[in-house]
Amino acid sequence: MDEDAADSPTVAVFRPDDERIENATERLESLGAEPVPDPMLAVEPTDATPRTDADYVVLTSKTGVELVADAGWEPGDATVCAIGPATADRLRTAGYAVDLVPEEYTSSGLVAALEGQVDGARVEVARSDHGSPVLLEGLEAAGAYLHETILYRLVRPEGSGRSAELAAEGELDGLCFTSSLTVEHFLEAAADRGLEERARDGLADAVVGVIGEPTAETAREHGLEVDLVASEATFERLATETVDAASANGE
């Protein structure tokens, strides 16, 4: 291994096994890291579509947008809300108008943006089966008549877990957890290999980076020490800050 490769932090990433893992890998490489792509999420569509009689429709992921677009869903007169810029961009690419994107790209940020508008309104939330309860609870507390449509289920792909093996061997410098489910699936993959205790020990010497507070809470509930929460809930920011911290650890 050359000196530059030896100095590059080894960072695991758990995006779904599509262009997102490819883009994440390229991003980590551009930051000078040695990426370990280990998809921990696979999409199983339910073939459901959002209601068409809502006053507000909330989409929380690019995957959800792709599924509703493929199904030919139309929002009618609803105010279309995206949880963040990536979801908003995919909506626009699919030909939908985007009426609202919160300043903070999280469930709580979206609740804060909508809570003064939805009292008595019909709000449709279309997302995966592992969405944060924060969004539903917050909108209900704001007085919305809420309906949730599960567009897809998120499962752990067969063969995932290379990162758990590397963690158990002490060969990971950083990890980028992008959802609560990636934390749970990482630990499941480690347990399936009989490596959970060793993988946990390996994480103690690595930088554990998470994309937002809900993911951080899940990690802590599972006994992991979180080293950083991305200053903005985007993968780009998470990757940059995790690589920076892992590089500093190695100096």
Tell me whether the CATH fold assigned to 10-41+161-250 matches the one assigned to 46-155.
Answer: yes
Nearest Cα to Cα of residue 5 among 27, 34, 47, 26:
34
Q: Is 150 helix (H, G, I), strand (E, B) or coil?
A: strand
Check residue 4 and give its pLDDT.
44
The topology under which CATH files domain 10-41+161-250 is Rossmann fold (3.40.50)
pLDDT at position 143, please? Answer: 96
Spell out the per-residue pLDDT of the chain, length 251, in tens: 334 445 799 999 998 888 889 999 999 999 999 999 999 988 899 999 999 999 999 999 999 999 999 999 999 999 999 999 989 999 999 999 999 999 988 888 999 999 999 999 999 999 999 888 889 999 999 999 999 999 999 899 988 999 999 999 999 999 999 989 999 999 999 999 999 999 999 999 999 999 988 899 999 999 999 999 999 888 999 999 999 999 998 76
pTM value > 0.75: no
Decide the pairing of beta strands 42-45 and 145-155: antiparallel
CA proximity to 242, closest of 13, 61, 26, 19: 13
Please report the pLDDT score of residue 251 as a whole number: 67
CATH topology of domain 46-155: Rossmann fold (3.40.50)
Domain residue ranges of the chain, discontinuous segments joined by +: 10-41+161-250, 46-155
- Contact indicator for 237, 231 with CB cutoff of 8 Å: yes
pLDDT at 124: 97
Q: Give residues with Cβ within 8 angstroms of 111, minimum separation 6.
A: 134, 135, 138, 139, 142
Q: What is the pLDDT of residue 3?
A: 41
Write down the pLDDT at residue 131. Answer: 84
What's the pLDDT score for residue 163?
Answer: 97
Q: Which of 146, 159, 174, 160 is nearest to 51 (CA)?
A: 146
How far is 69 from 67, CA to CA, in rounded Å? 5
